[in-house]
Chains A and B, each alone.
Chain A
Amino acid sequence: MISKFDDVFVFPGDKLFKLENGDNIRIGQGILKKGDCLVAVKPGYLHKDGNKVWVETAQKRYIPAVGDLVIGVVVDRSSEFYQVDVGGFSTALLPLLAFEGATKRNRPHLSVGSAVYARVVSVDRDSEPQLSCLLPGTQHSWVTGETVFGELKQGNLIHCSISLCRNILLGRNTVFTELGKYIPFEQATGMNGRIWVRSQSAGHVVLLSNLIICSENMTNDQLSGMIRSLVSKMTTQMSPTR
Chain B
Amino acid sequence: MSEFASLGRRDGRKAYEIRGFRCELGYLERADGSCRLEQGKTQVVAGVYGPLEARGRNELPDKTFVDVSIRPCQGYAADYLRLRERELKEIFVATIAAELQPRSCVSLVIQIIENDGSLKAAMINACMLSLLSAGIPCNWIASSCTVSYHSKDTFLLDPTLVEELEGHATAVISYGFEGPKPVPSHNLIGLSCSGFVSSKDIYFSSLSYSQEACKKVYEFIQLVTKRSQTIDGEQLSGIDH
Contact of B102 among A7, A30, A125 (CB under 8 A): A125
What CA separation (Å) do A7 and B226 show in the bound complex?
A: 12
Contact indicator A2/B237 (Cβ below 8 Å): no
From known contacts A57-B135, A61-B134, infer whether A13 and B237 are also in contact, taking CB-CB under 8 Å.
no
Which residues from A are CB-within-8-Å of B139?
Answer: 12-13, 41
Tell me how many residues of A have a C-beta within 8 Å of chain B. 38
Contact indicator B237/A44 (Cβ below 8 Å): yes
What CA separation (Å) do A41 and B131 show in the bound complex?
A: 11
Question: A185 at interface (Cβ–Cβ under 8 A)?
Answer: no
Which residues from B are CB-within-8-Å of A59?
Answer: 32-33, 133-135
Which B63-106 residues have C-beta < 8 A from chain A? 97, 100-105
Interface centre among A1, A12, A30, A58 (most CB of B within 10 A): A12
From known contacts A60-B33, A61-B135, infer whether A47 and B100 are also in contact, taking CB-CB under 8 Å.
no
Q: Which B-chain residue is minimally distant from A34 (CB atoms)?
A: B139
Contact of A58 among B51, B103, B176, B237 (CB under 8 A): B237
A-B contact pairs, 26 of them (CB 8 A): A1-B180, A6-B241, A9-B230, A10-B180, A11-B132, A11-B180, A12-B140, A15-B178, A15-B179, A15-B180, A41-B100, A42-B136, A43-B135, A47-B241, A58-B133, A58-B236, A58-B237, A59-B32, A59-B33, A60-B134, A61-B51, A89-B51, A89-B52, A89-B104, A90-B104, A172-B239
Interface residues of A (CB under 8 A from B): 1-2, 6-7, 9-15, 30, 32, 39, 41-45, 47, 56-61, 89-90, 125-126, 163, 166-167, 172-173, 217, 219-220
Closest 8 pairs between A and B when the two form their complex, measured CB to CB: A59-B135, A13-B178, A13-B140, A12-B138, A41-B137, A14-B179, A56-B237, A89-B51
